[in-house]
Amino acid sequence: MTDVAGAATSAPATDVLLDVNNVEVIYDEVILVLRGLSLQARRGSLVALLGANGAGKSTTLKSIMGLLPSEDGEISEGHISFDGQEITEFDPAQIVKSGISLVMEGRRVFEHLTVHENLVAAAYTRWREGTAGDDMRLVYEYFPRLEERSNQVAGYLSGGEQQMLAMGRALMQQPKLLMLDEPSLGLAPLLVREIFDIIVRLHRDLGTTILLVEQNAHLALEIADHGYIMENGRIVLEGPARELAENPDVQEFYLGMSESGERKSYRDVKHYKRRKRWL
Amino acid sequence: MSTFIQLTVNGLANGAILALAALGFVLIFKATGVVNFAQGEFLLIGAYIVWAGVVTLGLHWVVAVLLGVAVAVVMGIVIERSVLRPMVGESAIAVIMVTIGLSAVLRSLVQGIWGTTLRRMPEIVPETSVSLLGAPFPVNRLWAIGIALVALGGFALFFRKSHYGVAMRAVADDQQAAMVMGISVRRIFAMSWALAAVSAVFGGTLVAIMIGVSIEVATFGLLVFAVVIVGGLDSIPGALLGGLIIGLTRQYVGGYIDPGLGEVIPYIVLVLVLLVKPYGLFGEVRIERV
């Protein structure tokens, strides 16, 4: 495990698919949300980005995706490169074309479109290639339940099905890097399991690099190779997922366990958090 | 009986044309959230371009309509770029003021170029009358109904089957999510304005066939607001139904009771519908899962 300062240089440059370098993000020209954030995802890895509410995890994904201008935010400093190409100034359409897909927090399916039409909309940038039919078969292979409901309006799907549709849309774009923002949000534990199993399968079968943002640190560290922990707009800790899961600080703060290995009540954790922070 | 048939055919023709005109309005509102008060002027410009193509340039009417479509596409894109895009993020009322200003500019432009005299649309469709169940009525009304329905059907197919149409509906549903899909929202906005202007070429030409080419075409276009509010601002089926309701009641009331009342009745219907369904007959109901 490395400390922040010395992070990120160990991997050879060609092996790094996504490189976020010292990025600073400002909203409304005054609110500093990311303060010099750096993280990397190696080709073919599954990276977890963890942190408390408001740490800046979603903002990180949005800045990679080029969505900040639509929310009055901007990258005021730093660079993002993907697959050897600088993408800091790209708009979302260019970013999708270069091979990054995002599954947004809260699923964000097109409620008034059918399942099939949602997938068609997702194939927008690749329509001319004429591969939409094959891509759709692949999506239905991973999510058979979507095929059963392909002519249903997406707004009436269950939460789990909507999450599957959101992931299916991203899959339609055949991404090199798939970013998932809180895929477990608001889902029953069994469904969360199912969704995570599919994430693992996508990662393994298709070799897709995955950047996973999660509140559920337990689950995320279980499937990830590498983890980053965010607080107040910067990375405070990083390392191989297994080591992070065993780190006593991480156990205290994110896995809700005391030093003896028992789960503490949430109130104790909160109390403790108020006293001790990394920064 | 013959009066009834005549009024019905007239009402259906008016209604179908209104629906076509309203479609353009709904398109812009759905995709971009802008209330376009210049939709009536779009009809006006469509009618004048086709008229000028046939009369001034001596083109065949099919070519003239194609010319109208081309002009409409350019006009729609230019207006979106130069007038609406700078307004992104401004308050709804500011955007409304801008489209009202736009309507005044377009209207003056038409009057400046072609003056205010009433002109006859050349005979694009047969002007003869046929008698049906003993009632004579002009064939061009039937043509108007047919053309409007074909155009509406074409747009409906576009929205369901073409990936551009699906993308437009996706943008209307959730703009940011559409951006994440790689859909260029700017291009979709430009496309919405262009399509709205194109639908107005057909609508405006059909109106002009019935009432002649003059500023009155835009006045007829005012009825579009009654149509879309009755049908629901963001509903395409609503535009169709709203068009038929307004078209028919206007004819029936005007024909059987009083022509003056016929002019007012659309707005009375409007108020009645709003009392019962504040979002219009087909206005968007937010989907709530239980």
The confidence score (pLDDT) of residue B288 equals: 54
Q: Are B228 and B34 in contact (CB under 8 A)?
A: no
Q: Do B180 and A111 touch (CB under 8 A)?
A: no
More confidently predicted of A257 and A45: A45
Is there a domain that residue A33 lies in?
Answer: yes
Tens digit of each residue's pLDDT (9 = 90 or more) over B206-256: 999 888 999 999 988 888 889 999 988 888 888 899 999 999 999 999 999
CA distance B286 to chain A (A): 9
Q: How far apart are the first and last CA of chain A?
A: 18
CA-to-CA distance for B229 and B222, rounded, in angstroms?
A: 12
CATH number at residue A90: 3.40.50.300
Structural domain contains residue A181: no
Question: If we measure between CA atoms, which residue out of A38, A34, A15, A16 comes closest to residue A26?
Answer: A34
Find out whether B226 and B246 touch, Cβ atoms under 8 Å.
Answer: yes
> What integer pLDDT is reported at residue A252 of this predicted model?
77
CA-based nearest residue to B251, from B269, B239, B238, B235 = B269
- Facing residues of B135 across strands? B132
Residues in B touching A111 (Cβ below 8 Å): 173-174, 287
Residues of A in contact with B174 (CB under 8 A): 108, 110-111
User: What is the rounded CA–CA span in Å between residue B10 and residue A269?
Assistant: 75
Co-location of A7 and A91 in the same domain: yes
Could you tell me if A245 and A211 lie in one domain?
Answer: yes
Cα three-residue angle A20-A26-A27, rounded to 5 degrees: 125
A124 near B CB under 8 A:
yes
The first and second tokens of residue A183, run together, are 């895929």
Q: Structurally, how many domains does chain A consist of?
A: 2
Q: Are residues A46 and A89 located together in one domain of the fold?
A: yes
What SS3 class is residue A226?
strand
Q: Is B181 on the interface with A (CB under 8 A)?
A: yes
Helix and strand totals (H; E) in chain B:
11, 2
Report residue B282 as tokens: 């087909």
Name residues whose C-beta falls within 8 Å of residue A175's C-beta, 6 or more positions apart in sequence: A99, A100, A101, A208
Nearest to A214 by CA among A71, A75, A66, A55: A55
More confident residue, B103 or B288: B103
User: What's the confidence (pLDDT) of residue A275?
Assistant: 47
In angstroms, rounded to a whole number, what is the distance separating the alpha carbons of residues B94 and A262?
Answer: 59
Residue B138 has what pLDDT?
Answer: 79
Same domain? For A43 and A106 the reply is: no
Average pLDDT score over chain B: 89
Above 80 in pLDDT, residue A222?
yes
What average pLDDT does this structure show over A252-278?
55
Residue A74 parent element (H or E): strand A73-82
Does A1 share its domain with A94?
Answer: yes
> Does residue A59 have a pLDDT over 90?
yes
Q: Would you call B287 an interface residue with chain A, using a CB distance cutoff of 8 Å?
A: yes
Inside any domain, residue A179: no
For testing the chain A interface, which of B181, B284, B285, B286 should be mutated: the one with the most A CBs within 10 Å? Answer: B181
Burial class (CB in 10 A: 0-12, 13-18, 19+), A233: buried
pLDDT higher than threshold 70 for residue A5 = no
Look at residue A1 and tell me if it is in a domain: yes
What are the CA-CA distances from residue A58 to residues A81, A104, A106, A175, A228 (Å)? 18, 9, 11, 19, 14
Q: What is the ipTM of this complex?
A: 0.85
Both A14 and A80 in a single domain?
yes
Residue B158 near chain A (CB below 8 Å): no
Mean pLDDT of all residues in B126-131: 76
Contact between A139 and A121 (Cβ < 8 Å): no
Q: Write down the mean pLDDT value for chain A.
A: 87
CA distance A255 to A180: 20
Which residue matches tokens 């022509």? B259
The tens digit of pLDDT for each residue in A156-185 reads 999 999 999 999 999 999 999 999 999 999
Check whether residue A57 and residue A107 sit in a common domain.
no
Say which range, A5-14, A139-148, B151-160, has the weakest mean pLDDT: A5-14
Residue A214: inside a domain: yes
Residues A118 and A230 in one domain: no
**What's the pLDDT score for residue A14?**
62
Binary contact (A113, B177; C-beta < 8 A)? no
Distance of alpha carbon A184 from alpha carbon A188, whole angstroms? 8
DSSP string, B83-148: IIGGGTTS-HHHHHHHHHHHHHHHHHHHHHHH-S--BPPP-SS---EEEETTEEEEHHHHHHHHHH
Among chain A residues, CA nearest to B285 = A112
Instruction: Give residue A62's identity as a one-letter amino acid code.
Output: K
A2 within some domain: yes
Please list, in sequence order, all residues whose beta carbon lies within 8 angstroms of the beta carbon of residue B223, skipping any fewer than 6 positions away. Answer: B18, B246, B250, B266
Q: What is the DSSP pairing of strand A73-82 with strand A16-27?
A: antiparallel
Is A190 contained in some domain? no
- Asked if A16 and A86 sit in the same domain, the reply is yes
DSSP structural state of residue B158: H
A113: DSSP letter: S
Residues A141 and A227 in one domain: no
What pLDDT does A80 receive?
Answer: 97
Region A246-259: mean pLDDT is: 74
Please check whether residue B182 touches A, CB under 8 A: yes
Statement to judge: residues A94 and A228 lie in one domain: yes
Domain encompassing residue A203 = 1-98+195-274
Contact A24, A75 (CB under 8 A): yes
Residue B243 CB partners (closer than 8 Å, separation 6+): B15, B16, B17, B18, B19, B20, B21, B22, B227, B231
A148 shares a domain with A81: no
- Lookup result for tokens 């922070």: A277
